[in-house]
Amino acid sequence: MSSSRTIPYTCPYCGKTYDIEVWNSVTADEDEDLRDRCVSGDIFRNTCPHCKKDFMVQFPMVYIDRSHRFVLWLSQETPGEDLIRTVAAPLAPQGYTLRRTPTLKEFAEKIQILEDGTDDRAVELAKYDSLIEFLDNKKGTLEDITGIEYQRTENEVMKINIRTNDKGLSFLIPVSMVLEEMEENSTLYEVDNSSFPVVNAEWIIGLFTPDDTNQSLN
């Protein structure tokens, strides 16, 4: 069952405090409206009653979709022992996909990926392969790219969009091709599902970047 609470919040623009509703958990298969508000971001959008400024407020949330068998932990912090015990321990053995999403953008995209029934690790690999193809074919430079996004999966083909300042480029990636690539080195792509792992751009880049290179970039 979805649950929310009311908390005092200080507007980042005018500094005045007022009450906002934040959601502790959303059970998507029981409430389609809340599911839609999570995808659109409306559930995080607030308007200050004093200065009328609109802004987003990200708060920790457990998002459960039993029909598609996945749970998301929206937070920049790793899950605590209570979440591992009450959610991960019973659901991971049942085949649920458990993920932590640090940002609202990743959260909305992850819902779409897992609703499509697509392996999110394969999606991140498809994004990475699309990036390499974009650069190798001299479609632009790394500095030109403003975003790499999963669009959808239809007929076992993923659509990946690479956006730049003035245009976008779409890549159609067969799911079977990416899964075969993953199977060639299956241990490389393993994640501990029960610990709410983060599977995103940083994760896939980290698989192909030596530790010393990672350190030099930080």
Tens digit of each residue's pLDDT (9 = 90 or more) over 97-155: 999 999 999 999 999 999 999 999 999 999 999 999 999 998 889 999 999 999 999 99
Give me the long-range contacts of 180-184 (CB less than 8 A, separation at least 24). 181/125, 181/129, 182/121, 182/122, 182/125
Classify each residue of 107-146 as buried b or exposed e, where b means 16 or more C-beta atoms within 10 Å of its C-beta.
Answer: bbbbbbbbbbebbbbbbbbbbbbbbeebeeeeebeeeebe
Neighbours of 66 (CB within 10 A): 14
Cα distance between residue 113 and residue 109, in whole Å:
6
Check whether residue 101 and residue 126 sit in a common domain: no
Check whether residue 99 and residue 143 sit in a common domain: no
Check whether residue 95 and residue 50 sit in a common domain: yes
pLDDT single digits (tens) 86-103: 999 999 999 999 999 999
Pick from 115, 138, 164: which residue ends a domain? 115
- pLDDT value at position 84? 94
Check whether residue 212 and residue 165 sit in a common domain: yes
pTM: 0.91
Q: Which of 206, 175, 211, 214 is nearest to 188 (CA)?
A: 206
Name the residue range of residue 144's domain: 120-217
Check whether residue 147 and residue 64 sit in a common domain: no
**Above 80 in pLDDT, residue 216?**
no
β pairing state of 3-10 and 54-56: unpaired
Cα distance between residue 29 and residue 204, in whole Å:
30
Task: Tell me how many domains the chain contains.
Answer: 2
Pick from 96, 115, 134: which residue ends a domain? 115
Dihedral class, residue 90 (left if φ above 0, else alpha if ψ from -120 to 50, else beta): alpha
More confident residue, 194 or 167: 194
Check whether residue 133 and residue 208 sit in a common domain: yes
- pLDDT value at position 209? 79
3-state secondary structure of 186: helix
Tokens of 124: 């991140």
- pLDDT value at position 217? 33
Cα distance between residue 72 and residue 84, in whole Å:
12
What lies within 8 Å, CB to CB, of 33 at 6+ separation is: none
Cα distance between residue 178 and residue 132, in whole Å:
14
Check whether residue 92 and residue 108 sit in a common domain: yes
3-state secondary structure of 122: helix
Check whether residue 70 and residue 22 sit in a common domain: yes
- pLDDT value at position 214? 43
Check whether residue 15 and residue 107 sit in a common domain: yes
Check whether residue 18 and residue 43 sit in a common domain: yes
Cβ contact 175:156 at 8 Å: yes
Mean pLDDT of 188-201: 96
Check whether residue 177 and residue 95 sit in a common domain: no
Pick from 115, 138, 155: which residue ends a domain? 115
* Number of residues that make up the chain: 218
Cα distance between residue 135 and residue 93, in whole Å:
40
Check whether residue 79 and residue 156 sit in a common domain: no
- pLDDT value at position 211? 56
pLDDT single digits (tens) 9-67: 999 999 999 999 999 999 999 999 999 999 999 999 999 999 999 999 999 999 999 99
